[in-house]
A and B are shown apart, each in its own frame.
Chain A
């Protein structure tokens, strides 16, 4: 089980309604359903993943978050989750605004481009970073809008999006990120998990 999923599960109360955008094979939905009795819904583009969710008895809608979030009514979920896909959208801002419209709260996680190993790859080797969290090379990466934890922090400030909590994840370690430790956490977190809205 990915540490990130565990952190997300811990952020959520029991018995609520959650939409998992880009739900993959349903691992997170399964966890939330079993451990927190959460009523889950998924949105997923990939056919094999959709089939896998259906086989597991998890409700999933095949579709593209970029174009199809409009079908979900305003405030129809307690939480909307977007795990490590924000950077792959053409218009991440539009998607994020849609998530905030649909969910009373939103959890967004990002692979942190500010992580020190990523920075050193570029600084010392002069090549685009390939790491465990960023496994693709520059020519085949789906990531169009890479950002750092600090970037997303600043973005939320700029757009008046309320940040409730930010958690940094590095392997099995997690830590709370605040304004006063942002610089250092931005350097040592592989993944940033934002609770906003």
Chain B
């Protein structure tokens, strides 16, 4: 029968996203020479990737971002890792500027086209046992720590198609370990630059932050590039552990050029009495997708989740957040605010999940959008799933335009319309920044937003 000679169609999209560059050979090329546990972990992740269909817009979580249209996996090369050193004199201007603004720090790490090119850390901190290590180097130097925590509890390959892809193909990244009781006064600053040579490739980098009991650290992760001549996939997987009573701030500042497809997958685990705050700022890239899952694992844990975005032209931002309250007596408070100009589009999908038994949860979620142009568009889905009764939860979402009364008020004080608009937008976004008192960062972000508004 003719039927039987037909090649069997893969069921449910198996092998979707396996391309000439992204395939099992690529995994083997990385796994060869690595410790067995890591090689196996990569292979398992790859197998999970192969088995998981490419998300379609029929999936709730991808309803507004059509990957098949937005991401041309087939045309991507694989970003090759190469030994690099950072040479300030030959570095691109934007990178130098970004780094100059970051002088005051506990340590710096610079990644160039997906390979760590520079690390420094204050000696006094190194003496206290703090480590800031390129991930590739950590395989040999801190193998035990990696084996137990890299892509296991926080972002395992089972978390999703792209989580699996990153776990299989990561080439470098950062391991930050802060020992028990050690407090870092200044932030750790990471700058990741992608040059024109990196264009057209897929880059996979991981960040693993472990703040042991009673420690304290702020971490600023800035990823940037000029406009890229071809679609470039920049995948970041971020795992943050706040052990009991630790205090952690994680800030991601995305300033990629057009052409970039940024995929940032983050999971934060907050244990008893810890504070684990995040701020995600999206300003650049053609498409930026954030998956952030905050898990409140112990009583007294607290997570503030802040987000800020400003889109123009045809930028597309998609934020997918979840606040998972597993333990009772924990708090989470999310505020994502964005302004959209040109044809830009922003999606916010958030969920507060209060698991059975997570009594005395306080969880809030707010998304506010400002549409500045006729063509801009915002979609907002703030969801709640509550399975405990003694909770205080609320969520809110608004989409609106610039308030005409506010504009008139400012203009009646002599400001031209454009200045008045800028001031109102800055005020609107400023609410997010005012909640994160992190020296240097706020000024830097304000400056960049202002710059973008001027343009």
Please determine whether chains A and B interact with each other in the same assembly: no
